[in-house]
Structure 1
Amino acid sequence: MRKYLFYVLTSVVMLSLASCSATKFVPEGAYLLDEIKIRTDNKDIKPSSLRMYVRQSPNTKWFSLIKTQLYIYNLSGRDSTRWGNRFLRKIGDAPVIYNMDEARKAQEEMVKAVHNMGFMGGSVHCSTKTKKKKLKLYYDVTAGKPYIVNSLAYDIHDPQIATYLQNDSLRSLLKKGMLLDVNVLDAERQRIADYLLRNGYYKFNKDYIGYTADTVSNTYLVDLTLHLNLHKAHVNDSAKVHKQYTINKVSFVTDYDVLQSSGLSSININDSVHYKNYPIYYRDKLYLRPKVLTESLSFAPGDLYNERRVQQTYSNFGRLSALKYTNIRFVETQVGDSTKLNGYIMLTKSKHKSVTFEVEGTNSAGDLGAAASVSFQNRNLFRGSETFMIKFRGAYEVISGLQAGYSNNNYTEYGVESSINFPNFLFPFLSSDYKRKIRATTELGVQYNYQLRPEFSRTMASASWSYKWTSRQKVQHRIDLIDIAFLYLPWKSKRFEEDYINKGQNNIFRYNYQNRLIIRMGYNYNYNSAGGSLLNNTIASNSYSVRFNIESAGNIMYAISKAAGIHQNSDGEYAILGIPYAQYLKGEFDFAKNIRIDYRNSFAFHAGVGIAVPYANAKTIPFEKQYFSGGANSVRGWGVRDLGPGNFAGDGNLLNQSGDIKFDASIEYRSRLFWKFQGAAFVDAGNIWTIRSYANQPGGVFKFNKFYKQIAVAYGLGLRLDLDFFILRFDGGMKAINPVYESGRDRYPIAYPKFSRDFAFHFAVGYPF
């Protein structure tokens, strides 16, 4: 503990010394830009909306508190030829020197932005405050009285477009009484353009739309008129109404090389077929069935051009793993003054077959081992972009800490799993049109795993049938139509049975070390407001996600057992072919939100609850479906599966620290540090509980008048290495409130910390939420 405090105090002293020389490299007569503040006198003008116009930003702060990188830079000497000085300057940040010209340009741009918001008389005053060689910069925004839209008029000389806009008027962003906000006016231009592009106006864009705004004399009221200009192919041409285009024919080119010329005449094709009046051109062999191509289209000959359906077609072909790229081109037919378009779907083939080898080290509660796997994947098994995968895996581990009476200390595992994913919705008795609308993928999977431990041998086999689909790019659905898992234990050590199973009081052990059948179905809903964007939403954007999952098992089998009059076994369970089956209902809800402070700092919140209820044919939840607390993705002041249930202190037995109810909540302050490193400060809370009271889990049962006193709390710091394609995470957590104790010093380690007792280190891949 003393060593820990020594390191903390040393770091504080070093930073304090560095802060004394924050202006070490600021030239005479110049100032370090220490802080920028934007203040407004109108709540409709948010300072954050004007921050983008600031041209200079002060040196960045870690966790919005300390300008660590500036201090690191200032630790360097003035001799830039020395290696140590160059290194410190490279990893640090040079001081930002205040530039008056940049400040004035930012002021001018803010004035324009305020005017564009409808405050035409608004102004921005720039002022500074200096202390020694540091400067604080202030932008004070005076909004003035806003200009309000008094009346709306439309100047549209294209009768058909005028009819379209009249029918769509309820979606208009323009309203009487609104502020004369240029941003809203431009958004309405884009909305109209998008709407017309969905209704055949292939050549339309927002530049055909403009506005005039006339102010009523001596008032702040504006008469606004929207103008939609007629079409001109060239400047000197006469104006004409905009043309609506229809699709003439659609052709497929399946061997398009993106590195070659995009001209159709330069594409190397050798043969073609016609399927339902769709020409399909290919080079040597058609690698996709024609039906797969045509069913991926969202438009057809004779349809009005629709930009939304074009984008949907892109999405449909993007789901086909047999393809690497898709490019859709439209060419006007060269027959007179035609309004017909020929569509060309240009497809680039992906690599269909691959073999992957993986080697990994394992660490199970301190026991070291190794595992290796080899997998084969075919992304076009039946020429319909079906993805087939088969994977073989083997693992070996040396187990320590076993008592006498076991024949060996080795753990071996062998397994094989296979799956096939179809890019369409497979279900009998459904029409092709209905299946095309859903756009779901179907996955069939099987798995077999054999484990040999000193205590027992275990075989697990499973088969599943599920569907996945995405809607609006933000919502993901998954339906597990059926998932059958069989757990078989052909051998158990006599010592293991005597020590754990035959004691009579450990129901969880007895239940989870018997042959068991689990037949379940479930539904999973996942919403992410960031959609499919590849942003690092931890820092870059405000976003939130919602996840909901529900599953049940054993209900159909229980109904069949009751109807068939099957007799129960000695444990009061129904069995199929002598194998008892699990029956439970499980539901989970999870919410996470990210709030961006600036481009380097953000807050992240997370809360999750779950409950699993065994009933009818089961008294306990299967081990794989139980909840655990503690670890890198839970309350990080405790080790993996080392917390709970309730105020149970644990007895070293993993199965005894499991539960049926879960609660987790976290808050993190995340900050970019330097290079690819990010830092985090966090507070976690949570625990697990059981629904029933078990003798081997004293204090673990959930009670409404006690559960809130049994919520554990932890705090800590984390370091993350962002390697773009994945993130390595290192978190150190300290216990703050320990629910094992009801009162006293041990309950509040935040006030009486002991490093060896309260600290837990975690290494993980990816963010905790």
Structure 2
Amino acid sequence: MGLLLYSCDSVRRVPKSQQLLTKNEFVVNGKKENTEELEKLMVKQPNSDLLGYRLRLNLYNLANPNPDSTFKAKFTGKPQKYERLARLLSKKQVARLGKSFYYLGIHETLKKLGEPPVLIDQKSIDKSQLRLKGHYFNKGFFNAKISAQIDTAGKKKASVKYTVETKEAYILDSLTQQIASPVLDSMFQASKQESALKSGRQFNSNDFDAEKVRLNTLFRNNGVFYFQQNYIKFDIDTVDTGHKAHADMVIEDYTFRVGDSSFTKPFKIFKVSEVNIFTDATLGRNRENIKDSITYNGFNLYAYQKQKYRPKAITDAVFIAPGTTFADWRTTVTSRYLSNLRVFNYPTIQYQEDPKDPTGQSLIANIFLVPRKKYSFGASLDVTHSNIQDFGLAGSTSVTIRNVFNGAETLE
């Protein structure tokens, strides 16, 4: 109880002239708004508590900050005490005693389990104000004003009060587009009603992020293999607009490099012309070493040793088929289904342009499968308790056999 009371002095490890942060307060447009969303924006947050008690802080306070010095101080000016202990143990053992759990380990453990005091400093407050400014800016309050004040709350304790004046929010007005590639422009126009950006709605950066994700998904699921989200850019104009924001979406053509030179060309829609499945890619990915191959329903299956799987068992789990339009969802579902067979490790799926297509709009899909071990063994031990038996142990073992009948089956 004495130790507990001793550690309950929460400012015990707070240096002079500094203050422990007890609370962050937020006043938005004259009203208190202490939400978790705003608290998470703070560079520094008060020490954690359990039902109001700062357990981890007090555990940290229990620890000796300098246990080495404390141990050495036991013998300062007392050479006879050290000599007696050295004769009883030895000088090496005395040194080890200072590193023991009793003198050092317990304090290191308390520090690890505990939490150092969170101290108030102006630099962190300034950074927190910038985060609040950015937070409200992203919600359309471009002219928000943020101020902070330190309120002393007792000996070496204080809270920080952040005051926010949001001012008038900006509203999305006109929405325009500059899409260089006709293929992309056509897809956008056809799905325009599904846009996350709506004229007349309050500006919110999350809506712009959602629109980027939507368009990236739309394009890549409809054959635009080389498209990436970073091609989508927004120019926002708020100059002399009367709290209205004009948004112009810009999507430029595909940029690529050849040697040291950069080139651009319109995005194209790609189709899959060929699907190659390497069923034992553990041995490498060099086609020159292939020993066995078979074509089944348009799929090419290759093996570096003798083919061990019935083709249908593999191709039924592949949703990337010759003649289909490239789509990210096909890649994702194929990976999932092949993994669910539990015969292979997570597959690797790669695409490359088909050099045989003069239009440059065909892809070759290469699927590399690494088989798991044919046999695997497992064991478990369970502790049981019931009305009949107070205590008992139950052990079990398991055996998994993969590709039992060459159909990618799993027998357990």
Report the TM-score when normalising by structure 1.
Answer: 0.45
Which residue in 1 is equivalent to 2:229? 206
Among 7, 25, 38, the alignment partner of 2:26 is 38
Corresponding position: 1:308 with 2:334: no
Please say if residues 42 and 143 of structure 1, whose CA atoms lie closer than 8 Å, have aligned partners that are also in contact.
no
Which residue in 2 is equivalent to 1:73? 60
Shift of 1:97: 2.1
Among 113, 132, 147, the alignment partner of 2:135 is 113
Shift of 1:47: 4.1
Which residue in 1 is equivalent to 2:43? 55
**Equivalent residue runs for 1:106-505 within 5 Å:** 106-130=128-152, 131-215=154-238, 217=240, 219-234=242-257, 237=262, 239-257=264-282, 264-265=285-286, 269-335=290-356, 336=358, 338-365=360-387, 366-389=389-412
Aligned residue pairs: how many?
371
Please say if residues 255 and 269 of structure 1, whose CA atoms lie closer than 8 Å, have aligned partners that are also in contact.
no
CA 16–326 in structure 1, closer or farther in 2 if over 3 Å, else same? same
Matched AA of 1:75: L
Please say if residues 40 and 47 of structure 1, whose CA atoms lie closer than 8 Å, have aligned partners that are also in contact.
no
Please say if residues 299 and 321 of structure 2, whose CA atoms lie closer than 8 Å, have aligned partners that are also in contact.
no
Task: Could you tell me which runs of 5 or more consecutive residues in structure 2 were left unpaired when the two chains were aligned.
Answer: 69-102
Matched AA of 2:130: E
Which residue in 2 is equivalent to 1:94? 116
Please say if residues 58 and 96 of structure 1, whose CA atoms lie closer than 8 Å, have aligned partners that are also in contact.
yes
Matched AA of 2:271: T
**CA distance in structure 1 between the aligned counterparts of 2:175 and 2:383, rounded to whole angstroms:** 69
CA 312–78 in structure 1, closer or farther in 2 if over 3 Å, else same? closer
Shift of 1:197: 0.3
Q: Deviations over 1:374-419 (max 9, x none)?
A: 3322232222232222xxxxxxxxxxxxxxxxxxxxxxxxxxxxxx
Please say if residues 276 and 366 of structure 2, whose CA atoms lie closer than 8 Å, have aligned partners that are also in contact.
yes
CA 94–157 in structure 1, closer or farther in 2 if over 3 Å, else same? closer
Instruction: Quote the RMSD (CA, aligned, Å).
Output: 2.6
Shift of 1:239: 4.1
**CA distance in structure 2 between the aligned counterparts of 1:371 and 1:190, rounded to whole angstroms:** 51
Please say if residues 40 and 46 of structure 1, whose CA atoms lie closer than 8 Å, have aligned partners that are also in contact.
no
Shift of 1:220: 0.6
Give SS of 1:104's match.
helix
**CA distance in structure 2 between the aligned counterparts of 1:310 and 1:94, rounded to whole angstroms:** 48
Shift of 1:15: 4.9
**CA distance in structure 1 between the aligned counterparts of 2:3 and 2:287, rounded to whole angstroms:** 66
Q: Deviations over 1:629-656 (max 9, x none)?
A: xxxxxxxxxxxxxxxxxxxxxxxxxxxx
Which residue in 2 is equivalent to 1:104? 126
Please say if residues 216 and 223 of structure 1, whose CA atoms lie closer than 8 Å, have aligned partners that are also in contact.
no
Relative contact order (alpha carbons < 8 A, sep ≥ 6): 1 or 2 greater? 2
> How many percent of aligned residue pairs carry the same amino acid?
26
Matched AA of 1:345: I
CA 112–371 in structure 1, closer or farther in 2 if over 3 Å, else same? closer
Matched AA of 1:246: K
Report the TM-score when normalising by structure 2.
Answer: 0.82
CA 359–233 in structure 1, closer or farther in 2 if over 3 Å, else same? closer
Q: Deviations over 1:667-709 (max 9, x none)?
A: xxxxxxxxxxxxxxxxxxxxxxxxxxxxxxxxxxxxxxxxxxx
**Equivalent residue runs for 1:629-708 within 5 Å:** none
**CA distance in structure 1 between the aligned counterparts of 2:268 and 2:295, rounded to whole angstroms:** 30
Matched AA of 1:179: Q
Please say if residues 269 and 281 of structure 1, whose CA atoms lie closer than 8 Å, have aligned partners that are also in contact.
yes
CA 200–138 in structure 1, closer or farther in 2 if over 3 Å, else same? same
Please say if residues 80 and 86 of structure 1, whose CA atoms lie closer than 8 Å, have aligned partners that are also in contact.
no
Please say if residues 42 and 128 of structure 2, whose CA atoms lie closer than 8 Å, have aligned partners that are also in contact.
yes
Among 1, 7, 18, the alignment partner of 1:18 is 7
Please say if residues 299 and 322 of structure 2, whose CA atoms lie closer than 8 Å, have aligned partners that are also in contact.
no
Matched AA of 2:343: A
**CA distance in structure 2 between the aligned counterparts of 1:372 and 1:238, rounded to whole angstroms:** 66
CA 167–68 in structure 1, closer or farther in 2 if over 3 Å, else same? same
**CA distance in structure 1 between the aligned counterparts of 2:336 and 2:409, rounded to whole angstroms:** 17
Matched AA of 2:21: L
Matched AA of 1:222: A
**Structure having the larger proportion of residues in strand:** 1
**Structure having the larger proportion of residues in helix:** 2
**CA distance in structure 2 between the aligned counterparts of 1:16 and 1:40, rounded to whole angstroms:** 39
Please say if residues 32 and 135 of structure 1, whose CA atoms lie closer than 8 Å, have aligned partners that are also in contact.
yes
**CA distance in structure 1 between the aligned counterparts of 2:109 and 2:193, rounded to whole angstroms:** 61
